[in-house]
Amino acid sequence: MCNSRVLEVKLPDKSYNIIIKKNSLDTFAEQVISYYGKDKKFAVVSDSNITDLYANKIINQLEQAGVKTLGIEIPAGESSKSFESLQKIFDGLFSFKMTRTDVIIAVGGGVIGDLTGFAASVFLRGVSFVQVPTTLLAQVDSSIGGKVAVNVPQGKNLIGSFFQPDMVLIDPEVLKTLSDRSFSDGISEVIKYGCIRDLNLFEKLEACGSRQGVMESIVDIIYSCCAIKRDVVQNDERDHGERMILNFGHTVGHGIEKYFKYEKYTHGEAVAMGMAFISRLAEDKGISQKGTTDRIIKLLSVYNLPVELPDMRWEDILDTIALDKKKKGDYLNFILLKRIGECVIQKESLEWLK
Ligand SMILES: NC(=O)c1ccc[n+]([C@@H]2O[C@H](COP(=O)([O-])OP(=O)(O)OC[C@H]3O[C@@H](n4cnc5c(N)ncnc54)[C@H](O)[C@@H]3O)[C@@H](O)[C@H]2O)c1
């Protein structure tokens, strides 16, 4: 069990570090100042839940170090991933007289990371930005890989870009203030990483047995997830091939989320149902090793994640998935497990799901 680990992301246009360190927010100003120096301005974007919990702490540290700092607060929630919030961020940055050499810091969950990253990617044609993810989902998934976006009435994440941060600073201690539901939401993605690439991680999660158990090994667990995502992103930054494996359970999961208008289930809950479903199907078709699905279901259940498809018309879910399918041609790429820790990408028509 260790307290800190660092991963380097090496991409053709940029290399940067993911620093996973317990209590790293206590020395946040020191870390960013040693990287950027003191003569830059910093804009810290957070949401209404995070300002008092963590962002103000960061702002105070920077100000005490003599650095010009601005705090920008966005209302908490998915509906803030919008053009309206973008404009609010831009208004703040302009009134603060930010220049292209200054720095934007995103402190929050995936909503703040995606929104702020997109703002950073287009403000003055791109300014430096730092990710400080504060949900488990953001620490293992959304802050890594450079996908940034906002939602539009036509759909989620449809306006965005690929824009890598200068660094990702992960303090696992902040997870202590997450609700159990939000923690489980992130664990669903952690279990996904174990399923697709890392039997050791999966076994570690089985051994942890609870949120408390996970927190005891949290640095190593986050490191394992980030390492898998880093490797996949390094091989396929723009999502044309291997990056698809991160979508295990997501095709059906997205269908469920959308069908219930993103209100009834969290992303992680929908993905949990999607993983259980697709795993069972692959096992029934002889693709996955026998027993794989029961093991996944048992682990998901430890974190109160749903594993049975909800009460809904299956045809409607298929219709929802088919809408995406039309955009991509006749076939969908399904991510299937051969066994826990090893997956394959298989092209199939939608009918294959029935
Ligand atoms: N860019 C990517 O690659 C990628 C990948 C997966 C998901 N996403 C996006 O991520 C978003 C979901 O992210 P999320 O689940 O982190 O949601 P979120 O950002 O809305 O955070 C969930 C809730 O937790 C609160 N919160 C955050 N950190 C907290 C903490 N430490 N203590 C207490 N409360 C805290 C937030 O204020 C919010 O109310 C979606 O918009 C999704 O599209 C992006």
Same domain, 132 and 188: no
Tell whether 246 and 123 lie within a shared domain.
no
49 and 162 together in one domain:
yes
**165 and 215 part of one domain:** no
Structural domains in the chain (count): 2
297: its two tokens: 């279901």
- 1: confidence class by pLDDT, cuts 50, 70, 90: low
- pLDDT-derived band at 321 (thresholds 50, 70, 90) equals confident
The reply to whether 190 and 338 lie within a common domain is yes
175: its two tokens: 């997870």
More confident: 313 or 96 = 96
Q: Model's pTM, two decimal places?
A: 0.96
Number of H helices, E strands in the chain: 14, 11
Over the stretch 6-16, which tens digit does the pLDDT of each residue have?
Answer: 999 999 999 99
Q: What is the CATH number of the domain that holds 278?
A: 1.20.1090.10
In whole angstroms, what is the distance from residue 11 CA to residue 234 CA? 6
Ligand 1 interacting residues, C-beta cut-off 6 A: 47, 49-50, 53, 76, 78, 81, 108-112, 114, 134-135, 137-138, 141-142, 145, 147, 156-157, 174, 177-178, 182, 185
CB contact at 8 A, 300 and 217? no
Asked which of 1-10, 95-104, 198-207, 274-283 is least confident by mean pLDDT, the reply is 1-10
- Neighbouring residues of 26: CB distance < 8 A, sequence distance ≥ 6: none
Same domain, 218 and 268: yes
**149 lies in which domain range?**
4-174
Last residue of a domain, one of 123, 153, 174: 174
Please indicate, yes or no, whether residues 328 and 239 belong to a single structural domain of this protein. yes
Question: Which among 271, 244, 274, 253 has a CA at the least distance from the CA of 345?
Answer: 244
244-254 per-position pLDDT tens digit: 999 999 999 99
Neighbours of 318 (CB within 10 A): 17
Nearest 5°: phi and psi at 142? -70, -25
pLDDT at 240: 86
CATH number at residue 85: 3.40.50.1970
- 117 and 247 part of one domain: no
State the pLDDT confidence band at 2, using cuts at 50, 70 and 90: confident
Whose CA is closest to atom 16 on ligand 1?
A: 109
Position 249 scores a pLDDT of 96
Q: Are residues 123 and 262 in the same domain?
A: no
**What's the token pair of residue 23?**
């209590």
Residues 163 and 198 in one domain: no
Confidence of residue 206 (pLDDT cuts 50, 70, 90): very high
Q: Measured between alpha carbons, how far is 246 from 230 in angstroms, rounded to an integer?
A: 11
The residue from 174, 196, 214 where one domain ends is: 174
pLDDT band at 312 (very low <50, low <70, confident <90, very high): confident
């999961």: which residue's tokens?
Answer: 253
What's the pLDDT band for 328 if we cut at 50, 70, 90? Answer: low
Provide, for the chain, the percentages of residues in helix, strand and coil under a 3-state DSSP scheme, each rounded to the nearest 5: 55, 20, 25
Q: Of the residues 150, 174, 198, which one is the last residue of a structural domain?
A: 174
Residues for the chain: how many in total? 354
Give residue 326's pLDDT.
53
Question: Percentage of residues in the chain with pLDDT exceeding 70?
Answer: 98
Q: What is the pLDDT of residues 107-154, one digit of tens each?
A: 999 999 999 999 999 999 999 999 999 999 999 999 999 999 999 998
Ligand 1 centroid distance, CA of 326 (Å): 29
- Looking at the structure, do residues 122 and 148 belong to the same domain, yes or no? yes
What's the pLDDT band for 303 if we cut at 50, 70, 90?
very high
* Residues 184 and 325 placed together within one structural domain of the fold: yes
Residue 202 has pLDDT above 60, yes or no: yes
Residue 171 has, within 13 A of its CA and on its CB side, a CA count of 18
Instruction: Name the one residue in this structure whose structure tokens are 């990710």.
Output: 131
